Amino acid sequence: MAIGLIIIGDEILSGKRRDQHFPKVVEMLGERALHLDWAEIVGDDPARITATLRRTFASNDIVFSCGGIGATPDDQTRQCASAALGRPLVMHPEGRAIIEQRIRDTAREAGVVADLTRPDNLQRLKMAEFPEGASLIPNPYNRIAGFSVEHHHFVPGFPVMAWPMIAWVLDTHYAGLFHAQARAERSLLVYEQAEAALTPLMEAIEQHYAGVRVFSLPCVGDAHTRPNIELGVKGPPEQVEAAFAMMRSELDWRGAEYHVL
């Protein structure tokens, strides 16, 4: 199963907020010997969010979606997930109870009696409306739950809430995938070589080792760094070592200067 990340919010696309989810999700997955296969940023456009989710629900990927599950007009992720699945948006009883308790606790701390019928409190209850069949993702920060449905996991945009919620989903639902497939990566910096001239070598390695992927990351250099290409292989450990040896052998034959990382 591939793993994807959707980051929702106009504030990311406009630059008002800098995304922090992508590097953190990569880090959390890496700690569990998993990796991110794709990521998308989508603005607060219901039609676009719905189309994106309709496509990703059809993929059967594991997907984490950050943002847009609040109760303000620009929070449309819950509604869009419902539309993408073709399921009604329904009040989750446990989710509602959690929000009502949160309202009571907040009122008690302020020294007043909670009125659950107030318009603002009724609006807060909308955060417990999820697509039919959804389950809750506990929120250790303020207890307002996210939700999971069809291998899609929806959490708030706030990192302080989203990150422990994503970790909980991984550890609760996908622990069987941790370290299930060993992977390795080896790379080197090669100097004064044209990327196009190295392409046949990269293609030959992938043809010879079916499980290995080759990557190249050119650097044009600056006052402190010579132009170079980070050339590497990744995949099953036993194939990676053999592929890397093939790469070095070819570079030695060419007389290329390189430095193993």
pTM, to two decimals = 0.89
* Extents of the domains making up the chain: 3-177, 184-260
Long-range contact set of residues 131-134: C-beta below 8 Å, sequence gap at least 24: 131/78, 131/81, 131/82, 131/85, 131/87, 131/88, 131/89, 131/90, 132/82, 132/87, 132/88, 132/89, 132/90, 133/87, 134/92
Give the model's pLDDT for residue 141: 96
Give the model's pLDDT for residue 150: 95
Give the model's pLDDT for residue 183: 86
Tokens of 201: 């070598």
- CB proximity list for 161: less than 8 A, separation 6 or greater: 139, 140, 141, 142, 155
- CB proximity list for 13: less than 8 A, separation 6 or greater: 41, 43
Short-list 126, 56, 132, CA closest to 90: 132
Give the model's pLDDT for residue 95: 97
Q: Which CATH number is associated with domain 3-177?
A: 3.40.980.10
- Classify residue 32 by its DSSP letter: T
Give the model's pLDDT for residue 134: 98
pLDDT one digit per residue (tens) for the chain, 261 residues: 899 999 999 999 999 999 999 999 999 999 999 999 999 999 999 999 999 999 999 998 999 999 999 999 999 999 999 999 999 999 999 999 999 999 999 999 999 999 999 999 999 999 999 999 999 999 999 999 999 999 999 999 999 999 999 999 999 999 999 988 888 999 999 998 999 999 999 999 999 999 999 999 999 888 888 999 999 999 999 999 999 999 999 999 999 999 999
Give the model's pLDDT for residue 21: 98
Q: Sheet of 228-235: strands edge to edge?
A: 213-219, 228-235, 184-191, 257-260
Distance, CA of 144 to CA of 94 (rounded, Å): 11
How many CB atoms are located within 10 Å of the residue 72 CB?
9
Give the model's pLDDT for residue 117: 94
Domain 184-260: give its CATH superfamily. Answer: EIF_2_alpha (3.30.70.1130)
